[in-house]
């Protein structure tokens, strides 16, 4: 087995594995079913998977401004910025963490933003309950907190983050 990560556009063949991966790590994410995943994938600017030896090891969904996305975090950015690329979720399977896959994905996000004239990338990170690994990861890419909000009926608090290119 080569264990070399390969970044690809997500396809219908990946959907079951993407959904399973989302649900495996749903404590950091919002819940999705196949219909909502398909809808989100269809409005995404970037819908990518990382395969390792033919298996989905990670995925990315990023959405541009002015899409009909009901996420409260996306709406916050929409209310505060005219133009942005919102990283809705980057999910790396626990089996494939610490292999540089997150960096591979974020390098692709930054390259895409630069090549399409988007000068702001946004994301949110859980702070209650805390996700210190994600906070440190985003900080390394230059993200700064631009707001906070309670989500999930007050069960979570997120740090709304942005990086200006």
127 phi-psi bin (left φ>0, alpha ψ -120 to 50, beta other): alpha
Residues 58-92: tens digit of each pLDDT: 999 999 999 999 999 999 999 999 999 999 999 89
pLDDT tens track, the chain, 165 positions: 568 999 999 999 999 999 988 877 655 566 677 899 899 999 999 999 999 999 999 999 999 999 999 999 999 999 999 999 999 999 899 899 889 999 999 999 999 999 999 999 999 999 998 989 899 999 999 999 999 999 988 888 999 999 999
Cβ(85)–Cβ(112) below 8 Å: yes
21 — phi, psi (to 5°)?
A: -65, -40
Say how far apart CA 64 and CA 53 lie, in whole Å. 31
Say how far apart CA 143 and CA 152 lie, in whole Å. 23
Cis peptide before 129 (omega within 30 of 0): yes
Cβ(43)–Cβ(69) below 8 Å: yes
Domains of the chain: 6-164 (3.40.630.30)
Question: Could you tell me which of 94, 90, 91, 82 has the C-alpha nearest to residue 123?
Answer: 90
Cβ(48)–Cβ(58) below 8 Å: no
How close are the terminal C-alpha atoms of the chain, in Å? 37
Q: For residue 26, what pLDDT is reported?
A: 59
């Amino acid at each position: 087995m080569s264990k070399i990560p390969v970044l690809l556009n997500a396809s219908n063949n990946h959907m079951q594995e993407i959904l399973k991966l989302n649900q495996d790590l749903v404590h950091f994410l919002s819940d999705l079913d196949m219909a909502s995943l398909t809808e989100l994938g269809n409005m995404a600017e970037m819908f990518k998977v990382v395969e390792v030896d033919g298996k989905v090891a990670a995925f990315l969904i990023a959405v541009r401004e002015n899409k009909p996305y009901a996420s409260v975090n996306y709406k916050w950015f929409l209310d505060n910025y005219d133009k942005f690329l919102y990283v809705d979720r980057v999910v790396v399977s626990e089996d494939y963490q610490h292999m540089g896959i997150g960096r591979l994905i974020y390098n692709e996000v930054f390259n895409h933003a630069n090549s399409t004239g988007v000068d702001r990338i946004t994301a949110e990170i859980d702070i209650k309950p805390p996700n210190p690994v994600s906070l440190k990861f985003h900080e390394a890419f230059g993200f700064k907190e631009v707001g906070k909000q309670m989500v999930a009926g007050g069960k979570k608090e997120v740090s709304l983050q942005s990086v200006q290119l």
